[in-house]
Structure 1
């Protein structure tokens, strides 16, 4: 049963880029969220939070994987860069979607997952410069902050809310209308109809 969402954690990973998505994934209580490290050794995020990975890469159960999240953050070791790309390929080949943001997009590009699907990233040209085998230039969409296609979600470092929205849609969280209200709330501070009355009361009380 695919009931586990995995997030890759490593030294210096950009924790805030996946935080909103993970919070929404956990909210319904139907998904198990597990952190995956290159090993089980603790790592420190870019924000200074120490994280002890739940599992190492070689322990990931592909049959249980519902989604793999790859946050941004620089991997300087060649071995880790190759391992991250290989992990993305393994999960995708096993039938689960892969969601990548910022530098994480480079790993799915190195895995060859962007050559035939619409995708985006931080800026045009970055992926081709960093991923030498990348063949998806014609599929790159510079007009969106996040997009989902072919079992792959990609996002710019500026698109954390759009990234979360694509993940929410992929996992079929909430109804279509609720997802749209969620996006308007977090992106534009427009409260949903069921909160509009409360917002008015708060303003009056102030």
Structure 2
């Protein structure tokens, strides 16, 4: 295990990436505010190639590295945002990398369409999971419908899934898996952003 495995969260980037689904996650992983160990974590982007990609919101992103260059031993987690190409062969390299991460015991977090890509790859057949809706995954013909959970986000042994409507719960599940915040601080973070309760702000200021 290298030093980077303790610090780097890799976010897959590709054309049609759904920007809003990972905004809370990336901003708060990369920011040391309220972290249990400030400066321990950072975000790095990974693409199928080194070419720039364009998100659904029209932002152009230049990947920091390629999938071929990414080793699970150098990562704390692989994050797969939602996208519009998950049912195509273009998503296969990302699903293959996710499978490699899980085989190595490194967490993977997928939201929205990316959960569909993992379902098509058979990665949700034996794990509790969620997505945009049960019908969304059933329409893909996957074999894990008995393990579907109607919850905003689910973490089954380091495989985190969430629906497009739950970016804050998705971020909270990632933070909990990585141990970024003390439990009480994470509760206050969710109180502020998830419950829209201003008391969470004052609790965080005192943390």
Query: Under TM normalisation by the shorter chain, which class is it?
Result: 0.7 to 0.9
**2:176 alignment counterpart:** 169
Contact 1:182/1:192 (8 A) holds in 2: no
Q: Runs of 5+ in structure 1 lacking a partner?
A: 199-206
Q: Does 1:73 align with 2:77?
A: no
Secondary structure of 2:161's counterpart equals strand
Residue 190 of structure 2 aligns with which residue? 183
C-alpha displacement of 1:194? 6.7
- Partner residue, 1:30: 40
* Superposition pairs of residues 1-206 of structure 1, within 5 angstroms: 1=2, 2=5, 3-28=7-32, 29-75=39-85, 78-130=88-140, 132=141, 134-142=142-150, 144-192=151-199, 195=202
**Structure 1 range deviating more: 107-116 or 180-189:** 107-116
What's the TM-score, normalizing by structure 1?
Answer: 0.88
Contact 1:37 1:56 in 2 (8 A): yes
Instruction: Compare 150-159 and 108-117 and name the one that shifted more.
Output: 108-117
Helix, strand or coil: the match of 2:179? coil
**How many residues of Structure 1 are paired with residues of Structure 2 in the alignment?**
194
* Deviations 1:44-87 (CA, angstroms, capped at 9, x unpaired): 11111110011111010221111011111111783312212111
Cα distance change on mapping 1:182 and 1:77 into 2, 3 Å: closer
Aligned counterpart, 1:201: none
**How far apart are residue 173 of structure 1 and its match?**
1.3
- For the aligned residue pairs, the C-alpha RMSD in angstroms reads 1.8
Report the Cα distance in structure 2 between the residues aligned to 1:67 and 1:11, rounded to whole angstroms: 21
* Alpha-carbon distance in 2 for matches of 1:106, 1:55: 24
